[in-house]
A = this chain, B = another copy of it.
Amino acid sequence: MIKAGIVGGTGYTGVELLRILATHPEVQLHAITSRKEDGLAVADMYPSLRGRVNLAFSAPEKANLNECDVVFFATPHGVAMAQARELLAAGVKVIDLAADFRLQDPAQFEKWYGMSHSCTDLLAEAVYGLPELNRAAIKKARIVGNPGCYPTTMQLGFYPLLKAGIIDSGNLIADCKSGVSGAGRKAEISTLYSEASDNFKAYSVHGHRHIPETVEQLQKISAQPVELIFTPHLVPMIRGMHSTLYARLNYEIDNSALQALFESAYAEEAFVDVMPFGSHPETRSTRGSNTLRLALHRHGSTVIILVVQDNLMKGASGQAVQCMNLMFGLPETVGLTHIPLLP
């Protein structure tokens, strides 16, 4: 059994980790930390876990995280990098769901997150945790930076086209839409029910933190410089993410060849579902599961890729557990076989 710890488990990615790990056959939950909620039973904050998770939150200094095999950071940016060195030294593997180990260029981290990176050596060692594109490295990693939710959809959506070199990497558009849980469990006016319900808006159109990470990874795939327009929007739903991606073909290719490109790229992937050409994937078809679905459309020289996922699963906690499975030599899907909840 893998002894797992969670730092900062009071947010949505934290409770989602608990939901997954509580039924994971190879995991034993060892500790979950929260300084503020020290002593509070997890099930008192999240009654959905009554009778299923018997842990209480504990202050970090009481949690003995060094005894874990793996520690997940479901914390604000900046926390993981402060604690990772000690854990690694104790032989604990680290998976950070925040941004501390996502961006390989520390200058980019400083620019977008407004703080300097406190352990650039670990950053250099850290592996970007998108299994479909980086599986071999994840298997050997001690420290994984789990991708952002939007970047997961953009990378898996553009990948087969960029890899094949058939689209103009200097003209990518990602018009993305996220459910409100993506904003986290923070007391803020803008995500109150009465503000976010029956409403739709774009936000951070001038520049969102998920851009540098996505561009960095897309550049690795493409031999060319990548220019990406990224427009995030807020949807009045709890979970779910829908990315509508636009790319321009460099030369003519027929639709069945396009489709074949995606089908062969993801033929062996348990968590990527390439739907029939011309389909319209729905976010609810992934609700509560680790599956990402996508479908292709075409108008002239423009390819449109529709991508959906559950932002808390494949977009965050599910993907983190997928990485954990790889890091510990387990089958990649173990503990991640939830069927989406529909309706």
A residues sitting closer than 8 Å to B (CB atoms) are 12, 15, 19, 22-23, 46-52, 173, 175, 177, 179-181, 183, 185-189, 191-203, 205-206, 227, 229, 231, 233, 235-240, 242, 244, 246, 273, 275, 278, 280-289, 291, 293, 297, 299-300, 302, 304, 306, 308, 312, 337, 339-343
B50 engages A304 (CB within 8 Å): no
Chain B residues closer than 8 Å to A306, beta-carbon distance: 202, 205
Closest to A206 in B: B278
Chain B residues, Cβ within 8 Å of A186: 189
Bound CA span A293–B50, Å: 10
Q: Is the CB of B198 within 8 A of A284?
A: yes
Q: List 14 A-B contacts (CB under 8 A).
A: A12-B194, A46-B285, A48-B284, A180-B194, A185-B343, A191-B194, A192-B192, A194-B343, A197-B198, A197-B236, A200-B235, A201-B283, A205-B278, A239-B343
Question: How many Å lie between the Cα of A244 and that of B193 in the bound state?
Answer: 24
Give the copy number.
Answer: 4
Contact call B281/A47, Cβ cutoff below 8 A: yes
Q: Contact between B181 and A343 (Cβ–Cβ < 8 Å)?
A: yes
B-side contacts of A177, CB under 8 Å: 177, 200, 233
Docked pose: A49 CA to B246 CA in angstroms: 28
CB distance from A235 to the nearest CB of B (A): 5
Contact assessment for B48 and A339 in the assembled complex, using a CB-CB cutoff below 8 Å: yes
